[in-house]
């Protein structure tokens, strides 16, 4: 296979690494192999993906093509990251989370267990870009367990999205969204409880 695995990389049994994948790239200021990289059993890392050193990734990790995962992230079991998605450093993605294609996850973001992140969702982590103190107050969003964020949404820094909440497609989320509530719009506003939603096609009684 035409891929590169750097020093001090541990990949679990039953894993598949595609062509042109690079695993264990040293972050700035570190020597090759200085930071250990761990990927669990049964991973499927598709072509042209790059995973930096210092990541700890659980079992059954799946990527699309061209995924970028920067250094020092903690990623749980059964996590899927879609094609062309970028995960910056020092973030946390819990078990069973699904990130679709072209998602951007900046530093210090936390995506909870079983969360579903639609395509082209952008998280942010700096309230005032280029501010002299920007790095001192850098903090991404917190996404609760089993929360769902619709395609093309933008999530601002410091925002907390509660467990089982639902964000409508194309929303700009500037404030916290309580657990089990829906929110949509620009800026997104809280509308109703997720349990009140009906299937528009009449196929099921409760879609969530």
Average pLDDT in the chain: 96
128 an active-site residue? yes
Through-space distance between the first and last CA atoms of the chain, rounded to whole angstroms: 42
Contacts of 61 by beta carbon, 8 Å cutoff, 6+ apart: 39, 40, 42, 43, 44, 45, 75, 79, 80, 81
* pLDDT mean over 32-52: 97
Q: State the pLDDT confidence band at 1, using cuts at 50, 70 and 90.
A: low
Catalytic residue (one of 3, 6, 48, 128)? 128
Whether the pTM exceeds 0.85: the reply is: yes
* pLDDT mean over 181-195: 97
Name the CATH topology of 4-196. UDP N-Acetylglucosamine Acyltransferase; domain 1 (2.160.10)
């Amino acid at each position: 296979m035409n891929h590169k695995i750097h020093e001090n990389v541990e990949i679990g049994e039953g894993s598949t690494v595609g062509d042109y994948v690079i695993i264990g790239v040293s972050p700035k200021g570190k020597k090759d192999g200085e930071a250990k990289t761990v990927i669990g059993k049964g991973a499927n890392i598709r072509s042209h993906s790059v995973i930096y050193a210092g990541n700890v990734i659980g079992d059954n990790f799946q990527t699309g093509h061209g995924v970028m995962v920067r250094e020092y992230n903690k990623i749980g079991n059964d996590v899927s990251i879609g094609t062309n998605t970028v995960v910056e450093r020092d973030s946390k993605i819990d078990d069973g989370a699904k990130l679709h294609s072209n998602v951007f996850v900046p530093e210090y973001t936390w995506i909870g267990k079983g969360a579903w992140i639609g395509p082209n969702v952008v998280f942010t982590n700096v309230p005032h870009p280029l501010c002299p103190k920007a790095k001192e107050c850098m903090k991404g969003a917190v996404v609760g367990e089993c929360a769902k964020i619709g395609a093309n949404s933008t999530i601002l820094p410091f925002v907390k999205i509660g467990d089982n909440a639902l964000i409508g497609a194309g929303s700009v989320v500037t404030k916290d969204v309580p657990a089990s509530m829906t929110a949509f719009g620009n800026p997104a506003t809280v509308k109703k409880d997720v349990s009140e939603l009906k299937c528009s096609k009449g196929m099921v009684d409760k879609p969530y």
